[in-house]
Structure 1
């Protein structure tokens, strides 16, 4: 019997929010993953740059005229810093290197946890997660963000915005657009969404800080969040 393999796209702003690295969250997240690892489950965790990336990008904009590629590389290195933190956190059970190129990643690995990070300019960590999921033969991705649902509008601007529990790829792409920008803050990257759609994948968008809810999702129980697919 094959072991369940989960692909998680972990928002960097959950790992390192404005107040600094959230060690309380990371401790709980590690304990949750290790509990399921002990059951024989495997996890591929791709982490973003989040606030760390945006801080560097904002500072660089003040210091110099930048190209999109410059901004992207700053974000990529932020994801790799977060990735190395996670790999260190899972040292005893993790693949020894952070995966940076989804086209050359191992199709199988001995350790039960593998950490991925940014690849190259023009491609987000959401895209890396989709490419890796395809490579691993997995058609489901859990996107861990800082929102409970995808909403009909920005709830910060419109308190009457409606939560969306399920949505098809066509409607989702109409909401998020078609192009990727460095430092973009979207529920799931538009370019990654295109690939997930053509690959017939599903993506669950959940609040990554709610570890009980994440546990329910992983165990196949009812969860709070948005399912994108179809």
Structure 2
């Protein structure tokens, strides 16, 4: 299979240790034995710390976020002996490069590229570029809830949802730099267009393997439910 994993920066940097990076790297290596895996790494707490300090426009904050994603992604890439990291450039250039080298490696490490786009969006564009079979979104939530679980105790996790349902929920949430609580709205809209199945899971590395194996985990997003 061709798999894209959107690995939230908050997942990697919540515990900014070698052990935490290594746990996720080991799972990716295992999956990549029989699959092509593109990992798009987010900025997480690294981005938020600098964005809180910074003065400037939304574009300035976005660019700081992009740089943070590459700091995390490049660090993550060092845990693999044979992967391909696509560095700082435009999204268009990054996707052209991904296409060019896709047959040569099994593991690819990407990050953020264009101002105004989250790494959620970049992961969906990567999935579109390689015609992925599956997109996995890894965050600190165990799936998609019917409403914000941080604000509502009665929020319920959904087993399945369609693309329109995902868009509807995302529209209710904040879309400021560093505050993409579930998924970027632009990303959700493109996901609906390309109709690639997506699974939203929590932050245990083993959940990624379960999602790849087709075991029941998190929330699956499909064209029709």
RMSD between aligned residues: 1.9
Uncovered stretches (5+) of structure 2, i.e. residues with no partner:
none
Contact 2:83 2:109 in 1 (8 A): yes
Distance 1:22 1:153 in 2: 32
Q: How does 1:98-177 map to 2 (within 5 A)?
A: 98=87, 100-103=89-92, 104-107=96-99, 108-177=102-171
TM-score by length of structure 2 reads 0.89
CA shift, 1:191, in A, is 0.4
Question: 2:188 is matched with which residue: 177, 188, 193?
Answer: 193
Distance 2:103 2:176 in 1: 32
Q: Which residue of 2 aligns with 1:203?
A: 198
State whether structure 2 residue 92 is matched by structure 1 residue 95.
no
Question: 2:48 is matched with which residue: 54, 58, 61?
Answer: 54
Distance 2:152 2:57 in 1: 34
DSSP-derived class of the 1:160 partner: coil
Distance 1:221 1:215 in 2: 9
- Of residues 152-161 and 128-137 in structure 1, the stretch that sits farther from structure 2 once superposed is 152-161
Contact 2:86 2:97 in 1 (8 A): no
CA shift, 1:131, in A, is 0.9
Distance 2:153 2:179 in 1: 23
Question: 2:220 is matched with which residue: 205, 221, 227?
Answer: 227
Uncovered stretches (5+) of structure 1, i.e. residues with no partner:
none
Looking at secondary structure, tell me which structure has more helix per residue: 2
CA shift, 1:123, in A, is 0.9
Contact 1:148 1:206 in 2 (8 A): yes
TM-score by length of structure 1 reads 0.87
Q: For each residue in 1:64-93, what CA deviation from the matched residue of structure 2 results, as whole angstroms up to 9, or x when unmatched?
A: 3x1110010010000010110111111x12
DSSP-derived class of the 2:53 partner: helix
